[in-house]
């Protein structure tokens, strides 16, 4: 069918008039019911492509509205948590497959340290994937995550053969760090952009839709079609099966809000955090049915379990290709603002498939264990996790450490305190600093899109963790001299218009002008290196969460001298902003019989799910493209001017309202 024929057909459907038959076997989008109001016709002055896109958007919106009522009705038979899970007898009319969905009668199992383990669904129901050295206990029944088995990837199907491109091979066998390829970093945009394009990547290069076999992708916020166009979903599926599991925070999904409204509920923070498990499951299943109807059977929607406070803030992808597994961990929300217009980091690695699955008695690589535990906590189904467990070679990331946060309802203590958040960071960086710092104190340079309350005791506790335990918060009254790179309002207004929309993600949550002089002295202006693409000098904003540790004295030397600068001892990149919600609050453990010391710490107030990686400074150049210098990992200028006078950190009006 040509584009003109498809537009004519789409208009006929939208008008509910006599419908011409399409000249292709590809199924059209679901037809809008007769009683539905007619959508507004696209302007005839638009191009055929734009008219067609507008019709598709309007039809999808009307279809979504129509399906919400039916999907909510269909979930009324969802059993309460802990009861026998019979199947759901109805599905939303027209919402994807007509197959009945079965809720498997299984209980989750969790470990005392990590929150849950992963069931091996290829074997008996009692088989489990066991991480060496972790004791397992029975857990209370949780949200069922196996409502529908994943369809089989079509990579081996004789009826749906995929034409493999010549680039169907791993590109990141060495762990790599890349920046988002923003407007001024496209090689063809200008001469100066050609050099800036080094160490950059676009999202289509990461997901490689034509070669993808299946995937789990999670982000705090998802820009719907701004992400889905990169994946084999809906009109972009090209008719092939490729299971795509999309996870997100329910409170950030407009469809979930619409479904909740039909149940006379609100997803405001208070209502969401007090929602019972049965209602949460009903909304989840209704949304899954509607998304399948909108985007086809490839789409499988999941949600991270609701938190008492905080949110599911991680950003991660686990992509299965023929012969290797690709993992990315990023600071970018999966929407155009971050995928195309903002400074963000991407950690990417390709893990080769093993000749045979690793035996159950073999130790689980640390990176694999931390990764699988975290995506499971984010809602990734057991069948997907089991399908990738013990099948890939993690030797290339043996010196890369995952640092995750999991919300706590109480204070982490004992062996748990080293598992998450700031205390996990302390344990990861300790051996790095013991080897490289050579007794020197540590200075931190930090650039994150959101900054918390900057309480003095919290800053000292964080410095204890940044320094691997060297800094003793109980013995100090000073404020650590961090360097904070963060925009003022004038910095935001100086960026290009397409990027300024991203300022809604930037917030500071303390009264800067009322702060002590030591805190004010930390702050420098944000200036992206992407500055000259359109001839105006206007650059972009950011959503990065980037931390670097240097030996004390490096800052003054590097800023004043033109000699080659000193690389960091380690760096962190990922989803964690500089806030207590992301990292938790390291507290001295004063309940012990003996006096508290810097080593006797507990971790409290972790609110968010977060995910990032720590990389040793000496490994950094090997993660960049040939010919790079270590500063190329920074998307912004390093030594910008300090704040003056009444300048203060930018705070989005969105954050002010909150």
Looking at the chain, how many residues does it have?
658
Q: What is the pLDDT of residue 92?
A: 33
Separation between Cα atoms, residue 423 and residue 469, nearest integer Å: 9
Three-state DSSP class for 410? coil
SS3 (DSSP) at 177: strand
Calpha distance 103→105 (Å, rounded) = 6
CB 538, CB 496: distance < 8 Å = yes
**Phi and psi dihedrals of 601, rounded to 5?**
-125, 150
Q: Is the pLDDT of residue 594 over 70?
A: no
Residue given tokens 């099966």 in the structure block: 241
Catalytic residue among 313, 341, 374, 464: 313
- Output helix, strand, coil percentages for the chain, rounded to the nearest 5: 30, 20, 50
Mean pLDDT of 201-211: 96
> pLDDT grade, residue 60 (50/70/90)?
low
Torsion angle (degrees, nearest 10) of CA 462, 468, 469, 475: -60
The tens digit of pLDDT for each residue in 629-648 reads: 999 999 999 989 999 999 99
Q: Tokens 């950011």, residue?
A: 542
Is the confidence at residue 592, as pLDDT, over 70? Answer: no
pLDDT at position 76: 62
- Listed range (135-144, 186-195, 537-546) with the worst mean pLDDT: 135-144
Residue 523 has pLDDT above 90, yes or no: yes
Q: What is the DSSP code string of 35-89?
A: TSPPPPPPPTTS-HHHHHHHHHHHHHHHHHHHHHHHHHHHGGGPPPTTS-----S
pLDDT band at 84 (very low <50, low <70, confident <90, very high): very low
The percent of residues above 70 in pLDDT, for the chain, comes to 67
pTM: 0.79
Task: Classify domain 401-657 at the CATH class level.
Answer: alpha beta
pLDDT for the residue numbered 475:
78
Measured distance CA(599)–CA(602) in Å, rounded? 9
Q: How confident is the model at residue 187 (pLDDT cuts 50, 70, 90)?
A: confident
Kindly tell me if the per-residue pLDDT of 414 is higher than 90: no
pLDDT digits (tens, 9 = 90+) for 131-146: 654 433 233 334 443 3
- Please say whether the beta carbons of 295 and 67 come within 8 A: no
CB 84 within 8 A of CB 90: no
Q: For 361, phi and psi rounded to 5 degrees?
A: -85, -10
Is 315 within any annotated ligand binding site?
A: yes
pLDDT of residue 483: 96
Has residue 566 got a pLDDT over 90?
no
Q: What are the angstrom distances between the C-alpha of 124 and each of 67, 141, 147?
A: 37, 19, 18
CB atoms inside a 10 Å sphere around CB 45: 7
242-290 pLDDT tens trace: 999 999 999 999 999 999 998 888 887 767 777 888 889 999 999 999 9
The mean pLDDT value of the chain amounts to 77
- pLDDT tier at 364, thresholds 50, 70, 90: very high
Residue with the two structure tokens 């407009």: 254
**Distance, CA of 318 to CA of 211 (rounded, Å):** 14
Confidence at residue 190, expressed as pLDDT on a 0 to 100 scale: 54
SS (H, E, C) 613-656: EEEEHHHCHHHCCCCCCHHHHCCECCCCCECCCCCCCCCCHHHH
Instruction: Give the mean model confidence (pLDDT) for residues 187-210.
Output: 80
Choice among 164-178, 182-196, 450-464 with the minimum mean pLDDT: 182-196
- What element of type H or E holds 284? helix 277-295
Residue 588 is predicted with a pLDDT of: 76
Q: Which is nearest to 540 in space by CA: 548, 549, 525, 529? A: 529
Q: Flag whether pLDDT at 12 surpasses 60.
A: no
**Token digits of residue 98:** 């007509």
pLDDT of residue 418: 78
Catalytic residue among 62, 66, 464, 543: 543
pLDDT at 159 over 80: no
- Residue 543 phi/psi, 5-degree rounding, is -140, 15
Question: How would you classify the pairing of strands 401-405 and 610-616?
Answer: antiparallel
Q: Packing angle between helix 456-466 and helix 421-436, nearest 10 degrees?
A: 50
Of residues 304 and 62, more confidence is placed in 304
Q: Is 557 annotated as a binding residue?
A: no
Q: What is the DSSP string of 222-252?
A: B-THHHHTTTT-GGGSTT----EEEEE-GGG
Domain with CATH 3.30.870.10 in the chain: 401-657
Query: CA quadruple 264, 267, 268, 272: dihedral positive or negative?
Result: positive
Confidence of residue 53 (pLDDT cuts 50, 70, 90): low
Whether 464 is a known active-site residue: answer no
Token output for 229: 């166009």
Q: Report how far residue 230's alpha carbon sits from residue 223's, in angstroms, rounded to the nearest whole number.
A: 12
Question: Which comes out higher in pLDDT, residue 619 or 37?
Answer: 619
- The average pLDDT across 24-40 equals 33
Instruction: Check residue 565 and give its pLDDT.
Output: 81
Q: pLDDT band at residue 192, thresholds of 50, 70 and 90?
A: low
The reply to whether 257 belongs to the active site is no
Question: In the numeric block, which tokens belong to residue 36?
Answer: 């539905």
- The dihedrals phi and psi of 315, each to the nearest 5 degrees, come to -140, 110
Asked if residues 190 and 205 have their Cβ atoms less than 8 Å apart, the reply is no
């Amino acid at each position: 069918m040509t584009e003109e024929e498809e537009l004519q057909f789409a208009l006929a459907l939208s008008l509910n008039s006599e419908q011409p038959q399409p000249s292709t076997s590809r199924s059209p989008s679901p037809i809008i019911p007769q009683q539905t109001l007619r959508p507004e016709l696209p302007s005839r002055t638009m191009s055929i492509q734009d008219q067609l896109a507008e019709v598709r958007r309007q039809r999808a919106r009307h279809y979504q509205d129509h399906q919400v009522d039916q999907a909510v009705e269909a979930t009324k038979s969802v059993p309460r948590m802990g009861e026998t899970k019979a199947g759901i007898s109805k599905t939303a009319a027209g919402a994807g497959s007509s197959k009945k969905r079965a809720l498997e009668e299984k209980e989750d199992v969790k470990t005392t340290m990590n929150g849950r383990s992963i069931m091996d669904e290829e074997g008996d129901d009692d088989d489990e994937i066991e991480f060496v050295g972790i004791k397992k206990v029975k857990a209370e029944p949780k949200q069922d995550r196996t409502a529908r088995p994943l369809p089989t990837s079509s990579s081996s199907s004789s009826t749906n053969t995929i034409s493999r491109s010549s680039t169907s091979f791993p590109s990141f066998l060495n762990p790599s760090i890349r920046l988002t390829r923003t407007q001024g970093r496209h090689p063809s945009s200008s001469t100066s952009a050609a050099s800036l394009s080094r160490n950059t990547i676009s999202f289509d290069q990461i997901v490689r839709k034509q070669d993808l076999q299946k995937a789990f992708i999670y982000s705090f916020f998802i820009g719907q079609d701004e992400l889905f166009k990169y994946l084999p979903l809906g009109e972009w599926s090209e008719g092939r099966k490729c299971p795509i599991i999309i996870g997100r925070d329910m409170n950030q999904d407009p469809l979930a809000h619409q479904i909740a409204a039909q149940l006379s509920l609100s997803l405001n923070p208070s209502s969401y955090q007090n929602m019972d498990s049965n209602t949460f499951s009903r909304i989840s299943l209704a949304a899954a049915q509607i998304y399948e109807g909108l985007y086809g059977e490839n789409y499988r929607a999941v949600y991270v379990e609701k938190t008492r406070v905080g949110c599911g803030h991680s950003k991660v992808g686990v992509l299965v290709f023929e012969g290797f597994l690709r993992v990315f961990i990023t600071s970018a929300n999966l929407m155009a603002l971050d995928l195309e217009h903002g400074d963000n980091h991407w950690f990417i690695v390709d893990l080769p498939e093993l000749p045979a699955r690793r035996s159950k008695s073999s130790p689980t690589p640390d990176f694999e264990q931390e990764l699988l535990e975290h995506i499971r906590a984010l809602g990734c189904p057991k069948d997907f996790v089991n399908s990738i467990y013990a099948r890939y070679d993690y030797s290339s990331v043996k010196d890369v450490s995952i640092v995750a946060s999991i919300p706590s309802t109480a204070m982490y203590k004992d062996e748990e305190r080293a598992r998450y958040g700031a205390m996990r960071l302390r344990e990861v960086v300790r051996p790095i600093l013991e080897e490289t710092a050579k007794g020197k104190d540590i200075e931190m340079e930090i650039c994150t899109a959101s900054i918390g309350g900057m309480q003095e005791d919290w800053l000292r506790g964080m410095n204890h963790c940044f320094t691997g335990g060297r800094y003793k918060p109980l013995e100090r009254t000073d404020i650590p001299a961090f360097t904070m790179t963060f925009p003022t309002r004038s910095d935001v207004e100086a960026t290009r218009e397409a990027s300024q929309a991203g300022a809604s993600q930037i917030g500071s949550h303390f009264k800067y002008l009322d702060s002590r002089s030591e805190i004010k002295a930390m702050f420098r202006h944000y200036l992206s290196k992407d500055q000259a693409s359109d001839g105006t000098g206007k650059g972009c904003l950011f959503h990065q969460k980037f931390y670097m540790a240097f030996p004390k004295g490096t800052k003054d030397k590097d800023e004043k001298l033109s000699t080659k600068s000193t690389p960091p001892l380690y760096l962190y990149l990922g989803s964690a902003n500089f806030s207590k919600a992301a990292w938790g609050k390291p507290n001295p453990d004063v309940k012990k019989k003996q006096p508290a010391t810097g080593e006797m710490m507990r971790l409290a107030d972790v609110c968010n799910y977060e995910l990032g990686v720590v990389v040793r400074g000496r490994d950094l150049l090997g993660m960049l493209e040939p010919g790079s210098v270590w500063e190329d990992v920074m998307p912004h200028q390093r030594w910008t001017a300090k704040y003056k006078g009444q300048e203060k950190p930018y705070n989005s009006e969105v954050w002010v309202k909150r």
